[in-house]
Amino acid sequence: MSNKKYKIFDLEMFGSFFKSKVNLIILISSIAISIIVYLYFVSIKDLQIFPFQKDFSVVFYTDKNNGGNSKIVNQIISDNCITVKYDLIKGFISPYIGLGIGRKDKQTFDISSYNQLQIEVEGNGMKSLSFSLFTQSTKQKYPATNNQIIYTEKFGISTVRKRYFVAFENLNIPDWWFSLNDISLNKKISPPLGTVQSCNIGTEYDPQLGVLRTLNIHSIRFSRNNSQLIFTLTTIEFVVLLLLFCIHLFRTYIRKKSNAVVISYKAVDVENENKQLTVFIDFINNHFYECELSLEQVSTETGINHRRIATYIQQNFDCNFKTYVNQLRINESKRLLNETDLNMGDIAFKVGFNTQSHFNRVFKSIVGQSPSEFREKKG
């Protein structure tokens, strides 16, 4: 009988919540604000870069400035397609070609209203491309690069025309930029999207050289992905509703204090888990040579929270996760340099680096000399 009264009381309390004018005003106002915010961001039109607006132009480039020999055999820009035929030739450590798009008047442009690149492309003889944003710092901080900050991200493509999306949140500053400006790799520098100088589409490292390849770009634009916005607004509305209901619940029970049901219970004892916190160290030590090894992967494979892993490494090795992995890779590369006749490129890939140039930079930053100098002195 008492249980039945309790349920009826709950239903009445739930109904009284929506009969409250104050609750309805707050809920309706909150929903209205969320709708206005959503409509504002949805109404932002894409910034089309190609097919070209009259203010933008394209410039093709190769690795020639870095001592490379790669060639653009043919380049065609039509109203609806940029076609580039090229040949990657041995010369630079990582042969490349690409195209940069910027304003004709050389001024910066603002993409702070957007959060992703949208590109429609297909490629013959290639598996991936890299997207780069060249931005201008508003303060005089990075003289080594004329205050230019570079953010890059690679993405896979196929031989079939498809549309790809590159989220700005995935853009990273290359390691060599930090080294050039003598800045710690741990430092997070958010992209100044209001002062973009150009966006570049370039080829990724490919060990197979001397093969004629073709790249077709059909459209490039900056747009917004509002899925995170929808999730955030929905979460806010849920929190507002829950908070209002909790306040209403509290007031209702205060008013009917004499009829409140008091439940006494004994807390359940929970034994602490004796989990080995260092199991992830063994996992890292056994998988450091995998180039895609990440903190998230270690966390998933070992079942230990990634923050706990990062904190442990920082406290015990006085460095972050990436630096710890690089130190393992460099230690193994030193052994291979001493004990084998493998060339630098093979050693770089065996210990987990995507490119030899990246390997050279990290090796020199840790050891104080290049891999070649290290091998010569040891010899």
**Looking up tokens 């004990």, which residue turns up?**
339
- The Cα–Cα gap between 3 and 239 comes to 29
- The Cα–Cα gap between 244 and 26 comes to 9
The CATH T-level fold of domain 279-378 is Arc Repressor Mutant, subunit A (1.10.10)
What average pLDDT score do residues 176-196 get? 80
Q: Are 73 and 97 in contact (CB under 8 A)?
A: no
CATH class label, 47-223: mainly beta
What average pLDDT score do residues 362-374 get? 91
At 263-290, the pLDDT tens digits run: 343 443 333 333 456 788 888 889 998 8
Delimit the domains of the chain by residue range: 16-43+228-256, 47-223, 279-378
Q: Are 326 and 366 in contact (CB under 8 A)?
A: yes
Crossing angle between the packed helical segments 279-287 and 321-339, to the nearest 10 degrees: 40
For residue 8 the two structure tokens come to: 């009826």
Phi, then psi, of 209 in degrees rounded to 5: -105, 165
pLDDT at 257: 60
At 128-170, the pLDDT tens digits run: 999 999 988 766 677 667 778 888 999 999 999 999 999 999 8
User: What is the CA 204 to chain-centroid distance, rounded?
Assistant: 17
Gap between the terminal Cα atoms of the chain: 91
